[in-house]
Structure 1
Amino acid sequence: MNNKIKNIIFDMNGTMIFDGKYHEIAWKDYAEKLAGRQMSTEEFQHHVLGHTNKDILEYLMGKGTLTEERILELTEEKEAMYREMYMEDTANFKLVDGLVAYLDKLKEQGINMNIATGSNMTNLAFYFKEFDLGRWFDITLCAYDDGTMNAKPAPDMYIRAMERIGAVPEETMVIEDGPSGIRAAAAAGAGYIVGIYGDSSRELLEETGLCDELIPDYRNM
């Protein structure tokens, strides 16, 4: 992190927690259930990671084929399945290694912090409760999938997260695990971008050509 950084925005899934396999299992199950087809891991990485549930469901079923009510219903069903599976994995149901110490250090240094996530409020509230995120973050300032923003790689999520803490983009570092999120951070003008690959693909992050730094976790931050 360079000296001009005064703010840090974290993605959530795959960045603060390594939960990707449970989202992958749930979405692959839904692809078969709703669309009657198998979803490859490559397809998951390109069309699911970093995208909103609405975009994913419309990708699977076709744009305009689902009502907003049905999208909400399917979203809640899928996310409940994901949360149940993730909580059962007691060994991995935790914040990424080194993150607690890193967040404590940033708080002591007076760095402004926020979260920009493609998760909905139900999941965000779940993470705040289970991982006590209120120690470092204000949930009312977080940017999440509320249906009003374009999904990553559009910059909307990061722009909102920055605006809510009064952050200047050039003085803001973003930590992300997905190519679409990396591109969103760059489009939002983030001054420094860190790719975290412990739960994703280092190669896909490198291919963006936009990461200033790559890390497997937070133990050396």
Structure 2
Amino acid sequence: MTLPEAVLWDMDGTLVDTEPYWIECEFAIAERWGGTWSDAHAHAVLGGALTESTAYMSEHMGIDRTPEQILEELLDRVVAMVQREIPWRPGARDLLAGLRAQGVPCALVTASWRRFVEPVLAALPPDSFDVVVCGDEVTRGKPHPEPYLRAAELVGVPPERAVAIEDSPTGTTAAEAAGCQVLVVPSQVEVPAGPRRVEHPTLVGVGPGDLVDLLSPLRA
């Protein structure tokens, strides 16, 4: 069985089905402060750097709150939700466990901030990830390639030899720009085709060796 040299995982929408949590909390903030929000706006910030997303919210919600105030309230709300229940994406934990059993280095590469990530990590077996790169630990978040470049460097695998798993256009753009091969498993929005990406509907039944097979069209 041929295995990937490293797998770099997105979190929201890929490992955990928390994108609906973020969207619900965005609408709640807009309502609380007398503003408006829409699915189109929510999808526009999906998967992006939180500082940029909350700046967008401050501009488009029509509320008297700074981006920093929105960010803190948003994090408070989504952390409380994930502490109550973590909605895992189908097949994700099985694939992660299979990769770890085969000794494949894994990194979590997320736009979410560390205090939101910690409850998810705590619910997984210890050492599920060799590396965790959070949105508040990089200078430039997704769609910039920095998070994926950092993760690849930390796991010691050139990005062009690593597989990234993503669900959003923003995250896919970041991984592709870093040079990764990207397995796209969409959740909330469609992801356009691209030169270093292959789409698959689900991670259910996908094993470590299947990742290489699924991405074989990129090497054709």
TM-score interval, normalised by the smaller of the two chains: 0.7 to 0.9
CA contact (8 A) 1:50 1:151 kept: no
Work out which of the residue numbers 27, 39, 42 in structure 2 matches 1:41: 39
* Cα distance in 1 for residues equivalent to 2:127 and 2:132: 14
Matched, 1:159 2:156: no
Work out which of the residue numbers 117, 123, 132 in structure 1 matches 2:110: 117
Deviation string 1:57-116 (CA, Å, 9 cap, x unpaired) is: 211225xxxxxxx6555423222212333454x5xx343222222122212222111010
* Cα distance in 2 for residues equivalent to 1:26 and 1:182: 24
* Cα distance in 2 for residues equivalent to 1:206 and 1:77: 32
Find the residue that maps to 1:206 and give its secondary structure. Answer: coil
Unpaired runs of 5+ residues, structure 1, are: 63-69
Find the residue that maps to 2:153 and give its secondary structure. Answer: helix
Work out which of the residue numbers 37, 43, 47 in structure 2 matches 1:50: 47
* Cα distance in 2 for residues equivalent to 1:20 and 1:74: 17
* Cα distance in 2 for residues equivalent to 1:72 and 1:55: 10
The match for 1:10 is 9
Letter matched to residue 11 of structure 2 = M
Cα offset, 1:150, TM superposition: 1.2
Find the residue that maps to 2:12 and give its secondary structure. Answer: coil
The match for 1:149 is 139
The match for 1:84 is 80
The match for 1:98 is 91
Cα offset, 1:174, TM superposition: 0.3
Find the residue that maps to 1:215 and give its secondary structure. Answer: coil
The match for 1:136 is 128
Q: Relative to 1, partners in 2 of residues 1:57 and 1:33: Cα closer, same or farther, differing over 3 Å?
A: farther
Tell me the TM-score normalised to structure 1 length.
0.80
The match for 2:184 is 195
> Taking every aligned residue pair, what percent have the same amino acid on both sides?
23
Letter matched to residue 186 of structure 1 = E
Q: Relative to 1, partners in 2 of residues 1:125 and 1:86: Cα closer, same or farther, differing over 3 Å?
A: closer
Letter matched to residue 85 of structure 1 = M
Find the residue that maps to 1:146 and give its secondary structure. Answer: helix
The match for 1:23 is 22
* Cα distance in 1 for residues equivalent to 2:41 and 2:193: 17
Tell me the TM-score normalised to structure 2 length.
0.80
Deviation string 1:137-186 (CA, Å, 9 cap, x unpaired) is: 14xx3111125421211101101111111111121000001101101011
Find the residue that maps to 2:200 and give its secondary structure. Answer: strand
CA contact (8 A) 2:48 2:111 kept: yes
Q: Relative to 1, partners in 2 of residues 1:210 and 1:37: Cα closer, same or farther, differing over 3 Å?
A: farther
Cα offset, 1:3, TM superposition: 4.2
Q: RMSD of the alignment, in Å? A: 2.5
* Cα distance in 2 for residues equivalent to 1:11 and 1:45: 17
* Cα distance in 1 for residues equivalent to 2:57 and 2:121: 30
Count of residue pairs the alignment pairs up = 202
* Cα distance in 1 for residues equivalent to 2:40 and 2:68: 26
Unpaired runs of 5+ residues, structure 2, are: 60-65, 208-220
CA contact (8 A) 2:176 2:196 kept: yes
CA contact (8 A) 1:10 1:114 kept: yes
Cα offset, 1:4, TM superposition: 7.0
Find the residue that maps to 2:203 and give its secondary structure. Answer: coil
